[in-house]
Amino acid sequence: MTGASTGPIGVLEPDNRASRQQRSIRGEKRLPDAQSAAFRRRSWAERSRGSRVGQSAGERLPQRARWAGQGLSAPRSGGLCEQLGRDYFGVCSEPVIKDNVVVVYEVLEEMLDNGFPLATESNILKELIKPPTILRTVVNTITGSTNVGDQLPTGQLSVVPWRRTGVKYTNNEAYFDVIEEIDAIIDKSGSTITAEIQGVIDACVKLTGMPDLTLSFMNPRLLDDVSFHPCVRFKRWESERILSFIPPDGNFRLLSYHVSAQNLVAIPVYVKHNISFRDSSSLGRFEITVGPKQTMGKTIEGVTVTSQMPKGVLNMSLTPSQGTHTFDPVTKMLSWDVGKINPQKPPNLKGTMSLQAGASKPDENPTINLQFKIQQLAISGLKVNRLDMYGEKYKPFKGIKYMTKAGKFQVRT
C-alpha cells in the first residue's frame, strides 16, 4: 500500500519545567515558565500561519468563521470541557470538579495561552498534566510534587500537534460511533411542530505510527452544517465530500453536525394520549400509549416517559401494561419507566386522577417528555461507506456503530 506524504515531524527536546512546579498542592498561584510559554506561543503562531498538513490558508480559517462566510449557523460545541472531564476523572460533575479543583485549574491553564486555545487534545493534555490517581495523590501529598509533567509532549511542536510521535500498539484498531439526538415538539394531533437532529461522530483510534485515514459516506450531502476536528483537511471535504485526516491517538470527536430540515428528520415514536379533566368533578382520566414509528425494524429501548402534572392533581391511580411508574404528590411529577417497546404490543399506562374538590379545571393539559434510544440506527439516514488507511502497511481492525437517542423530545396534549 502506498504511503501518503505527511512531511517532516518536528520533535521538541526535553524541557525542564521544574520552575513551573513552584506552587502548593492546594491552590497557590502558578508561577509560569516564561521562556517555555513564549516558546509554545511562538510555535502555535507558526503552525497557524501555514504548517498544518495538507491544508491551504483558506482551510486554516477558524471553522466558525467559515460558517459565517457561508451564512451558516454553528452547531452546538459538544462540550469539550465535559469530554475532558470524563477523560480525566471518569465522570464530569460538580462534586468531582470541587474535589479536583487544582487539576482542573492546571488543565485549563495548559488549554489556554493568553486567552487563546493552545492545547485541547486529551492525549496531549494528559502528558502535560497527569490524570489524578490514588497513588499519585498520596505521592504528591508526601513529596510536595504536582501532576505537571517534566517534559512537553513530543508532538506538541510538530506539524501534527494533535498526535504524539512514536505511537505503537500490538492490536491496531479504529472504531467510530455515529450518535444522533432528536429534538422535537409534537402537537396534540401528532403533527410535528419542529424537529432537528444534533449528531456527532466519536472516534477511538489506536494505530501504530502516523496513519493517514480517509472516511467516506454513502450520502454525504446530509452533512451541510458541520464542525470538524482540526485534523480534518477541509479543502478536500469541500471538493470531494471525503474526510481525510491524520487522527489523534485515542478518543476524540471527529465532527459534529446539525440537520434542521424537517423533511429529513423521521420521528421514530408515536404517543397516543387521552388526558381529560371535568368541571365540578374530583376525578380525571389519564391514558397514554407509546409505540414505534419509522424505526427501520430496529428496537426502541430505554424508554422513559415523564410529565409534570397540574397543581390540582392530588394523586394518580394508574395501571401500566409494561414497566413501572411513580407519581410524587409533592412535585406532581409522573415518571413511567417503560424499557423496551414490543411493536406487536405497544405499552400503555391508564387510570384516574384525584383532583382537589371544588377546584377549577386546569387551564392546559400537561406535556409529555420522552427519552429513548435505538441501537444501530442513524435516524437522519447517514451511513459510512468505507474507511481507508495510507502511510502504514498493517491492516487494522475497523468498526462502525450507530445510535439514535432522544434529546428534548416533547409531546403536547
Residue range 334-391, pLDDT digits in tens: 999 999 999 899 999 999 998 887 777 777 889 999 999 999 999 999 999 999 999 9
More confident residue, 277 or 35: 277
Average pLDDT over residues 229-233: 92
Kindly report whether the global pTM for this prediction surpasses the value 0.75.
Answer: no
- Written as one string, the DSSP assignment of 188-206 is TTS-EEEEEEEEEEEEEEE
As a whole number of angstroms, the distance between CA 135 and CA 149 comes to: 16
- The total of other beta-carbon atoms located within 10 Å of residue 250's CB is 17
Only one residue has cell 412535585, namely 331
- Written as one string, the DSSP assignment of 7-68 is -----PPP---GGGG-S-SSSPPP---HHHHHHHHHHHHHHHHHTSTT--TTTTS-HHHHHH
> What is the structure's pLDDT at 250?
87
Contact 407/194 with Cβ under 8 angstroms?
A: no
Identify the CA nearest to 385 among candidates 242, 245, 255, 264. 242
CA dihedral 358, 272, 341, 331 (to 10 degrees): -30
Q: Is the pLDDT of residue 186 over 70?
A: yes
> What is the structure's pLDDT at 198?
93
> What is the structure's pLDDT at 79?
63
Q: Is the pLDDT of residue 21 over 70?
A: no
The per-residue pLDDT for range 122-177, each reduced to its tens digit, is 777 777 777 777 666 666 677 766 666 666 665 555 678 788 778 899 999 999 99
Q: Is the pLDDT of residue 29 over 60?
A: no
As a whole number of angstroms, the distance between CA 378 and CA 403 comes to: 6
Q: Is the pLDDT of residue 24 over 90?
A: no
What are φ and ψ of residue 302, in 5° steps?
A: 65, 35
Tell me which amino acid residue 383 is.
K
Q: Is the pLDDT of residue 234 over 90?
A: yes
